[in-house]
């Protein structure tokens, strides 16, 4: 029998955790033939609720679930982990300034970065879902000097999937007919969903749906803002933030990273910039990437038009400001 792969999940008793854990346990992340051990981190007051979730995991009798460990100490929970899904974060509450939010999350992601550095397995891959995801990933990376920088990523796959859904609707096709969608920049309202390289059944998406005045208006006034503000629209409708779709995207992102992207297509992942496309080196920013065997590469050579350039620059400028703010707080 194969040794179980240790998958650590933080914020495991939260909303996203409640969808995510069951999908991992069912084999959606590592496949139906790989036993998985879940290692679940929560803050102390949430451990009781987490025990209830573990009872439900037991009761699901998943063939691929080899074991579950829970606890409130990242040094214990990250021990031997090959995958870490960092979902738990400090939400912005009323009256909280941006600086307070960055500081509260800094306290979480410095500690978790250090714990991963000391205790994770050599093949560790880290996906940060908890917001502000890109900057939290940057903080964790900076506090884990022994882990290669390319092992850290932040989630923009939900934005990517949202963009696919909107484009499919507009083009009257299914999402499986689409390829080469790109999200650039920050997982925030400044993110830029780019359809200029996307394909609809092999044809250029922008030429197909945004070549005339009506199409351009749709792109600027509907498509981009709908994707950027989708999270807020879901809160407005559901009374709670997106959870099942965020869990699904966390699975898609990490599964495709480990198992590889499809030939002739690419994914959006926030990864450390090497300066490609003028994105300042060292920022964790979303790019078009291809993946293979647990490694990613930024897709090179795409022509960036003026429309896209301004939007990519605006979102990466915001990431630069977030980096400067956490640097000033000595979190890097």
- The only residue of 52, 63, 67, 91 in contact with ligand NAX, by rule CB under 6 A: 91
Check binding of 16 to ligand NAX (CB under 6 A).
Answer: yes
Check binding of 195 to ligand NAX (CB under 6 A).
Answer: no
313 phi/psi in degrees, rounded to 5? -65, -40
Check binding of 14 to ligand NAX (CB under 6 A).
Answer: yes
Give catalytic residues, as residue numbers: 187
Question: Positive or negative CA dihedral for 105, 14, 182, 299?
Answer: positive
Check binding of 11 to ligand NAX (CB under 6 A).
Answer: yes
Check binding of 181 to ligand NAX (CB under 6 A).
Answer: no
Give the closest residue to 124 by CA, choosing from 140, 108, 111, 136. 140
Nearer to ligand NAX, 4 or 17 (CB): 17
CA 319 to chain centre: 15
Minimum distance from CB of 104 to ligand NAX (Å)? 9
Contact segment (CB under 6 A) with ligand NAX among 9-17, 31-39, 209-217, 282-290 equals 9-17
Check binding of 84 to ligand NAX (CB under 6 A).
Answer: no
99 is in an annotated binding site: no
Minimum distance from CB of 13 to ligand NAX (Å)? 4
Check binding of 15 to ligand NAX (CB under 6 A).
Answer: yes
320 is in an annotated binding site: no
Check binding of 322 to ligand NAX (CB under 6 A).
Answer: no
Contact segment (CB under 6 A) with ligand NAX among 35-43, 60-68, 161-169, 291-299 equals 35-43
CB contact at 8 A, 183 and 286: yes
Residues 132-161: x where in contact with ligand NAX by CB under 6 A, - otherwise, as a string: -x---------------------x--x---
Residues 110-129: x where in contact with ligand NAX by CB under 6 A, - otherwise, as a string: -------------------x
Q: Which residue has 């992207």 as its token pair? A: 261
Check binding of 251 to ligand NAX (CB under 6 A).
Answer: no
Q: How far apart are CA 103 and CA 36, in angstroms?
A: 34
Give the closest residue to 279 by CA, choosing from 249, 311, 239, 327. 311
Q: How far apart are CA 35 and CA 2, in angstroms?
A: 7
Contact segment (CB under 6 A) with ligand NAX among 12-20, 52-60, 211-219, 323-331 equals 12-20
Minimum distance from CB of 323 to ligand NAX (Å)? 17
Check binding of 13 to ligand NAX (CB under 6 A).
Answer: yes
Check binding of 19 to ligand NAX (CB under 6 A).
Answer: no
Nearer to ligand NAX, 18 or 218 (CB): 18
Q: List, as residue ranges, the binding site for NAD(+).
A: 11-17, 105, 112, 129-131
Q: List, as residue ranges, the binding site.
A: 11-17, 92, 98, 105, 112, 129-131, 162
Applying CB under 6 A, which residues contact ligand NAX?
A: 10-11, 13-17, 41-43, 46, 87-91, 108, 129-131, 133, 155, 158, 187, 231, 241-243, 246
Q: List, as residue ranges, the binding site for substrate.
A: 92, 98, 131, 162
């Amino acid at each position: 029998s194969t040794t179980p792969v240790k998958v650590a999940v933080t914020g495991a008793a939260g909303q996203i955790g409640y969808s995510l854990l069951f999908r991992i346990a069912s084999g959606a992340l590592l496949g139906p033939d790989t036993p998985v051990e879940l290692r679940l981190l929560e803050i102390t007051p949430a451990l009781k609720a987490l025990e209830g979730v573990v009872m439900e995991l037991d009761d699901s009798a998943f063939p691929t679930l080899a074991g579950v460990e829970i606890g409130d100490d990242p040094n214990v929970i990250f021990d031997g982990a090959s995958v870490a899904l960092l979902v738990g974060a400090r939400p912005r509450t009323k009256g909280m300034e941006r600086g307070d939010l960055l500081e509260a999350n800094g306290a979480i992601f410095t500690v978790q970065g250090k714990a991963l550095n000391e205790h994770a397995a050599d093949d560790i891959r880290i996906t940060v879902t908890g917001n502000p995801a890109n900057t939290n990933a940057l903080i964790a990376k900076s506090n884990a000097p022994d882990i290669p920088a390319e092992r850290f990523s932040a989630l923009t796959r939900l934005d990517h999937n949202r963009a696919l859904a909107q484009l499919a609707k507009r083009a009257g096709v299914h999402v499986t007919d689409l390829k080469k969608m790109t999200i650039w920049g920050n997982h925030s309202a400044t993110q830029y969903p780019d359809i200029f390289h996307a394909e609809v059944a092999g044809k250029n998406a922008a030429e197909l749906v945004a070549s005339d005045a009506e199409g351009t208006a749709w792109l600027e006034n509907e498509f981009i803002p709908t994707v950027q503000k989708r999270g807020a629209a879901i809160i407005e409708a559901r009374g709670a933030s997106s959870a099942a779709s965020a869990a699904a995207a966390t699975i898609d992102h990490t599964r495709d990273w480990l198992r590889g992207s499809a030939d002739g297509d690419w994914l959006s992942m926030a990864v450390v910039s090497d300066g490609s496309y003028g994105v300042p080196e060292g920022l964790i920013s979303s790019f078009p990437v291809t993946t293979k065997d647990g490694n990613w590469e930024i897709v090179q050579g795409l022509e960036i038009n003026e429309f896209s350039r301004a939007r990519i620059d605006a979102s990466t400028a915001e990431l630069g400001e977030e980096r400067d703010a956490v640097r000033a707080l000595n979190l890097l």
